[in-house]
Amino acid sequence: MAEKAILLIMDGLGDLPAPVKTPLEAAKKPNMDALAKKGMQGMMSTLGRGVVPGSDTAHLQILGYALDRYYCGRGPLEALGAGMQLREGDVAFRANFATIEGNMITDRRAGRLDNASAKLLEKDANARIQDVEVIFRASTEHRGALVLRGPGLSPQVSPTDSHREGAFTPAKPLDASDGARKTAEIVNEFTRMVHARLEGSDVNKRRMRDGKKPANIILLRGAGIMGKAPKFSEMHGIRGACVAGGALYKGVARYAGMDVPDVKGATGDAGTDLKAKGLAALEALQKNDFVFVHVKATDSFSHDGNAKGKTQFIEKVDKELIPALAGNGAALFITGDHSTACVRKAHTGCEVPVLAYYAGGRKDGLKKFGESSAMHGGLGHIEGKDVMLIILNMIGKGKMCGS
């Protein structure tokens, strides 16, 4: 029996036929299919049947953190993932570099800004407004996080990122409290300030000369306030680590008190070094009982409507990452955090396929890993809150209920 476990989450793995098979079903993935023959499959409704999960809520639920007790909003998780040190009471936001012309947002991702340019622009987004410290960090591509630190703040403000191109809308208080009013004022002052600074930056002047879209505004959403949560080791009785490239997933792990090593080449995009992630996971497994490995690009291809790209990336995962994860004696649990449909370019409430394998474990007789196959699997239909219970049972660490 395995004594340690690896959880591999391919973000947005589940899909709809595009147009006949899903990307997972269409992919040539001999290593995952070999595991399917030796293990069990099932389908997962991460937050409940038909509920459309966000990546933040989905990952917290999968790792065993009940949302009604421990969800702090996505902003703090993004900030933690970007390496920021948060204090209880800090208000934090997800942030996007974007392109604005006049009052119209013309590209929410500033042409998918590159990491190097984002880091150069980072200094223009830090300031002090009224009695509040404004701290910004770039993370991956156009993404970043913003933290407001000071007295009398509230996360009850509307986003300045409407999730679509169009007219820019300033932040507004969502309740009648002084904290919401103050926070909305600071957000709007920050937006005016950073727009003026970014407009005049050398980075954006060079981008425009090169025919690229300027990253001349920062949009905010996902406001939350930093709170406390029990450590993963306290909750489950095992030590955990996380190998990821994207800030959110590192942030979820740090919120849970897990080890989060920096992995060279783990970029959180399609160019991420999967072999480096595999080696890092094996190294982390030496000191921990459980390692959560996250891969982002499956979701990114889905949002771009690129079923072929998603299929090819799944094949790359199978070739470059699965051999390392499956060849070390640890139990292996493979799934996604939610389904993202290429035909919709959006998250859906459809179930996600699940594959569980460990030496000496049960087999359900299925031959390939995919949505159509997993519907008939021995794990049946589970929810995200079941994942850690199943994994703990796989490695003999489950707790008896009763006596």
pLDDT tens profile 60-92: 999 999 999 999 999 999 999 999 999 999 999
Q: What is the dihedral of CA 86, 91, 96, 97, to 10 degrees?
A: -80
In the chain, pLDDT over 90 holds for what percent of residues?
95
For the chain, residues classed under CATH 3.40.720.10 are 5-70+229-394
Instruction: Classify burial at 129, counting beta carbons within 10 Å of its beta carbon; exposed 0-12, middle 13-18, buried 19 or more.
Output: middle
Would you place residue 49 in the very low, low, confident or very high pLDDT band (cuts 50, 70, 90)? very high
pLDDT tens profile 136-178: 999 888 989 999 999 999 999 999 999 899 999 999 999 999 9
Which CATH number is correct for 5-70+229-394, 2.115.10.20, 3.60.20.10, 3.40.720.10, 3.40.50.300? 3.40.720.10
Q: Which of 280, 277, 279, 255 is nearest to 268 (CA)?
A: 277
- State yes or no: pLDDT of 1 exceeds 80: no
Place of tokens 């982002």: 296
pTM of the model: 0.90
Helix extents (H) in 155-306: 178-199, 202-209, 232-236, 247-255, 274-287, 297-303
